[in-house]
Every structure is written in C-alpha cells, then in structure tokens.
C-alpha cells in the first residue's frame, strides 16, 4: 500500500507519526513468522487455552519480540496481538512499554474460566503503560475490571477519528436510496435485508465480506451486494447514498464507528443503532446530526430510515450538521494527536531507564 492510500487507515496513524519525525515500524508487511516462532507461539497458546485462558497470535508476537524490545514503545492495535504482548510484558519477555488498544476486550475477558486467570490477566493488563478504548463504555468496563481485581487503572477513552479531507462532501447526485457497509461481525445484516424486503420501491446496496454474504439465504430483488472491496470503493458507495443505514447488534465496543464517521464526514444522513460504543463521547444527537435507534428495534430503525428518505431537506440538514460534528472534534489529526501524546508519555519510562543515573 503506498503512503496516502486510504487502506492505510489500518495503521492507526503511523504514517502521520512518521511525517511528524517519529520512526515507526509495523508487522503488517512482513512475511509469516519463522518456524521456531510458530512452534513456540503455538505451544504457548495451547497451554494458555487449555488452562481456560484466551490465547491470541503468540506466533507473530514471539517472532517480533527482538524488534519490539528495541523500540521505545510498542503499540498494539488488535486484541489478538495485545493479549500475548501484555502477558509477555508481565513475564518480563517484552521489555518495552506497551500501549494496548482494546477492541472488544471485555467480551474476551468474560471467557476466562477461572478466577486465577482473571487475576493474571488483570495484572498483565495493568502492567501496560496505557490501555486505550474507542468506546467510552468499554473504557469504563475495563476500569471496573482492573479495580475489582485490586489493580490500578491505566485506561483512556480515545474517540476514533476520520480523515475529513479524504472524506468530504461531493456534489454528485445520489443514485442509491440506502447503503450499508462494514465487515464487523456485529453489523445487523439481517435487519438490513428485512428493511430492503419491506421497502421494495427503494434501492438498497450492501457492502460486506464474502464470508458473511455466503450466510445469506435469500436477498430481495432491490438489494445489490458487493464483497471485499477496497476502501476507495466503499467511499464511492457511501457518496452515492441518500441514507447510510448502520444497524448494529448490541455490544460494548462496536458502533459501526469507522463507517459512521466516514459517512458523517461525507455529509450523509446516517441512521445508526445507539450501541453502548457510541452512546457517549462522539457528540451524536438524535435528529440533529444523525438518527439514533435503540438496539433491537427493527421497526424503529425502519421508521427512521423512511422518515429521512421522505424528507430531503431533513436529510441535507442531518448531513451538514454531521460534517460539522466531525470537523469540530473527530478529525484524523485530532485522533493522531491523542495517540502521539500517549505514546510519548509511555516512551518516557523507557528513555529514563536508558539514561545514566547518578
């Protein structure tokens, strides 16, 4: 992926940090872990899971430890890597400060089968220099988890952001009534299909994964489906929508946040489920900058979509205020500022340890 490509969103601001004078590296472009790392990592994962724990990608982490230990700070962006890193940090194998980005971690911690493991994971999580969550509710749950196990809380809520320059309103006419996009397993695709079937006079477009598409038994004739498309295509589909519909199953960490912010930056009218992930911290207000519907309310979601489709002026107003909400506090630069500050704070401990002492 060339620098500047939209797909580099998955690097969570590392390109921008490099432009600011830092020297980041990541493992996404590397080859598979060597055989010794796969063997050691898989063995550690099996032992942990047999004991009732949640494993993760130990092989990748073990294969990257040398580079990680030579860094001022390590940033984990997914739990499958973050969990092995925090456990290795607790054991002393990872020596660099760890900033752990949690995405659905409370659900994974709930899978732990013994109190001994719950205490172990709490101590390991508390050993991280910082734990970040994109959901205010998830941050609260992680703080409670650490507090309940007698550990100090080091959890921060960091609202996600969107590149408001790459996603900006366009003047092309809308060609599809309702668009839904996203690969998160919590997307309520069944609700979206039901809405399309109940509204045959409107056009619907679904962007999802091939794996999810294979689970769909039947689809109405007014629904078009695309699978596994690049982010540039997702953007064009959002641009073509009169309404962006983002129904989500109830959970603590997913509110279709990335696509939600992209659609808002494009100045689109968005109807989204008010999950705990976005209920606070993102400045969303029902009827002002979006339409919010309670989880599980299929009829209410359909009414909200229909009301926006019927009122073009209301749709434009929602979109304009959505764009202003993004510009006022949910930009990509604002997000990178927060990440940079947290990484610098975490790295100070490593720098202090390297400095000679009197």
For 238, the 3-state DSSP assignment is helix
pTM: 0.91
68 assigned to some structural domain = yes
Q: By the 8 A CB rule, do 264 and 242 touch?
A: no
Q: Which two tokens stand for residue 245?
A: 């519909």
Phi-psi category of residue 131: left, alpha or beta, with phi > 0 → left and psi -120 to 50 → alpha:
beta
Give the pLDDT confidence score for residue 346 in this predicted structure: 95
Q: Are both 182 and 303 inside the same structural domain?
A: yes
Q: Are both 226 and 205 inside the same structural domain?
A: yes
Q: Are both 317 and 181 inside the same structural domain?
A: yes
Q: Are both 131 and 186 inside the same structural domain?
A: no
263 assigned to some structural domain = yes
Q: What is the pLDDT along the chain (358 residues), one digit of tens a residue?
A: 666 677 777 678 888 998 999 988 887 666 788 999 999 999 999 999 999 998 899 999 999 999 999 999 999 998 999 999 999 999 999 999 999 999 999 999 999 999 999 999 999 999 999 999 999 999 999 999 999 999 998 999 999 999 999 999 998 889 999 999 998 889 999 999 999 999 999 999 999 999 999 999 889 999 999 999 999 999 999 999 999 999 999 887 888 999 999 999 999 999 999 999 999 999 999 999 999 999 999 999 999 999 999 999 999 999 999 999 999 999 999 999 999 999 999 998 655 544 444 3
The number of distinct structural domains making up the chain is 2
Q: How many CB atoms lie within 10 A of CB 133?
A: 27
Distance between CA atoms of 326 and 328, rounded to whole angstroms?
A: 5
Print the domain residue range for 69. Answer: 6-161+333-354
Distance between CA atoms of 177 and 68, rounded to whole angstroms?
A: 48
Q: Are both 152 and 276 inside the same structural domain?
A: no
Give the pLDDT confidence score for residue 26 in this predicted structure: 82
56 assigned to some structural domain = yes
Give the pLDDT confidence score for residue 67 in this predicted structure: 92
Q: Are both 29 and 127 inside the same structural domain?
A: yes
Give the pLDDT confidence score for residue 268 in this predicted structure: 98
Give the pLDDT confidence score for residue 144 in this predicted structure: 96
């Amino acid at each position: 992926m060339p620098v500047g490509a939209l797909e580099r969103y998955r690097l969570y601001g590392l390109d921008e940090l490099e432009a600011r004078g830092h020297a980041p590296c990541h493992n996404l472009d590397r080859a598979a872990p060597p055989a010794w790392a796969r063997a050691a990592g898989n063995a550690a994962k099996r032992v942990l899971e047999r004991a009732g724990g949640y494993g993760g990608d130990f092989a990748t982490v073990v294969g990257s430890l040398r580079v990680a230990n030579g860094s001022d700070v390590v940033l984990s962006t997914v739990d499958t890597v973050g969990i092995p890193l925090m456990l290795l940090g607790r054991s002393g194998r990872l020596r660099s400060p760890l900033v752990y980005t949690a995405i659905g971690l409370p659900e994974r911690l709930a899978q732990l089968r013994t109190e001994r493991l719950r205490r172990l994971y709490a101590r390991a999580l508390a050993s991280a220099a910082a734990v970040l969550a994109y959901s205010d509710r998830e941050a609260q749950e992680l703080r409670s988890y650490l507090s309940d196990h007698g550990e100090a809380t080091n959890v921060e809520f960091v609202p996600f952001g969107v590149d408001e320059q790459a996603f900006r309103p366009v003047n092309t006419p809308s060609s599809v009534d309702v668009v839904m996009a996203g690969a998160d397993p919590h997307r309520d695709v069944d609700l979206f299909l039901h809405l399309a079937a109940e509204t045959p006079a409107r056009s619907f477009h679904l962007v999802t994964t091939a794996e999810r598409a294979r689970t769909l038994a039947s689809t109405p004739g007014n629904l078009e489906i695309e699978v596994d498309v690049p982010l540039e295509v997702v953007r064009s589909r959002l641009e073509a929508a009169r309404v962006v519909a983002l129904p989500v199953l109830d959970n603590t960490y997913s509110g279709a946040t990335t696509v939600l912010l992209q659609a808002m930056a494009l100045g689109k009218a968005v109807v989204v489920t008010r999950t705990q992930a976005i209920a606070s911290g993102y400045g969303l207000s029902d009827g002002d900058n979006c339409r919010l519907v309670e989880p599980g309310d299929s009829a209410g979601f359909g009414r909200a979509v229909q009301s926006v489709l019927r009122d073009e002026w209301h749709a434009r107003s929602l979109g304009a205020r959505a764009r202003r909400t993004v510009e006022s506090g949910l930009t990509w630069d604002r997000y990178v500022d927060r990440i940079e500050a947290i990484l610098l704070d975490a790295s100070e401990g490593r720098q202090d340890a390297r400095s000679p002492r009197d």
